[in-house]
């Protein structure tokens, strides 16, 4: 098990942390011992709406998404999380209230799970770690505000082009249905937009 834990942490999480704070090898050893490695299959759920969210999830390999369902069955994708990204329902994690979101694996994935209790322990044990999480929260808020502005002020074609600009790798990894639900448009509209864009290139 220790070998497997170390393999999970070899690349992406260390890269994420080192890009934001100064951390020693000893700090990484402390973090490594506290996180839970998990492999999941494609279409496996990490969180179901109605359950309390127990973990922040870091993606070492693979792709996850969070989404909600309408009463009519329509899906609304909130976030995609490829390698190097965290994903969770922070409101449920911190408040202990049932989540309104599902989190599922879109690909076979290798993950690192961190509970709220472990997060608190690590922030006491690794002095620079609170700054790391603060930076993540700041970036999340900025990204959310930008996404709201894009959806509210841009046309369907403009929102698709913006997604191609900021997350070009997702276009080939995510189904049209999921991309449409992320952009807030129908799959039919997205198909038409993609055809228009392709015809101009």
pLDDT in tens, the chain (201 residues): 333 444 455 689 999 999 999 999 999 989 989 999 999 999 999 999 999 999 999 999 999 999 999 888 789 999 999 999 999 999 999 999 999 999 999 999 999 999 999 999 999 999 999 999 999 999 989 988 888 887 788 888 888 888 888 888 888 899 999 999 999 889 999 999 988 888 876
Between the alpha carbon of residue 178 and those of residues 124, 168, 173, 182, 184, the distances in Å are 39, 15, 10, 6, 10
Query: What pLDDT sits at residue 38?
Result: 96
Asked whether residue 42 is assigned to any structural domain, the reply reads yes
Task: Tell me the residue range of the domain where 96 lies.
Answer: 2-127
Query: What pLDDT sits at residue 197?
Result: 85
CATH of the domain at 105: 2.60.120.10
Asked whether residue 157 is assigned to any structural domain, the reply reads no
Query: What pLDDT sits at residue 201?
Result: 65
CA separation for the pair 18, 9 (Å, rounded): 12
Claim: this prediction has a pTM higher than 0.75: yes
Indicate the DSSP class of residue 52: B
Asked whether residue 25 is assigned to any structural domain, the reply reads yes
Asked whether residue 191 is assigned to any structural domain, the reply reads no
Asked whether residue 21 is assigned to any structural domain, the reply reads yes
CA separation for the pair 66, 88 (Å, rounded): 8
How is residue 7 written in tokens?
A: 């393999």
Query: What pLDDT sits at residue 10?
Result: 65
Contact between 135 and 129 (Cβ < 8 Å): no
Instruction: Specify the number of domains making up the chain.
Output: 1
Asked whether residue 70 is assigned to any structural domain, the reply reads yes
- Listed in sequence order, the residues at least 6 apart from 59 whose beta carbon sits closer than 8 Å to its beta carbon are 12, 81, 82, 83, 84, 85, 86, 87, 109, 110, 111
Query: What pLDDT sits at residue 2?
Result: 39
């Amino acid at each position: 098990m220790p070998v497997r834990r170390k393999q999970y942490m070899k690349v992406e999480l260390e890269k994420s942390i080192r890009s934001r704070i100064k951390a020693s090898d000893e700090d990484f050893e402390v973090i490594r011992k506290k996180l839970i490695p998990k492999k999941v299959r494609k279409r496996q759920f990490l969180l179901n709406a109605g359950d309390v969210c127990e973990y922040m999830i870091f993606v070492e390999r693979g792709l996850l998404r969070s989404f909600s369902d309408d009463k009519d069955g329509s899906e609304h994708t909130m976030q995609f999380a490829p390698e190097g990204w965290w994903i969770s329902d922070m409101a449920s994690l911190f408040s202990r209230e049932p989540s309104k979101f599902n989190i599922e694996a879109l690909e076979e994935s290798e993950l690192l799970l961190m509970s709220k209790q472990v997060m608190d322990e690590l922030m006491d044990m690794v002095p620079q770690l609170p700054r790391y999480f603060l930076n993540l929260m700041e970036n999340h808020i900025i990204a959310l505000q930008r996404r709201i502005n894009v959806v509210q002020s841009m046309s369907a074609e403009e929102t698709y082009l913006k997604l191609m600009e900021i997350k070009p790798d997702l276009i080939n990894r995510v189904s049209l249905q999921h991309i449409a639900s992320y952009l807030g448009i129908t799959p039919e509209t997205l198909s038409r937009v993609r055809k228009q864009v392709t015809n101009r290139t």
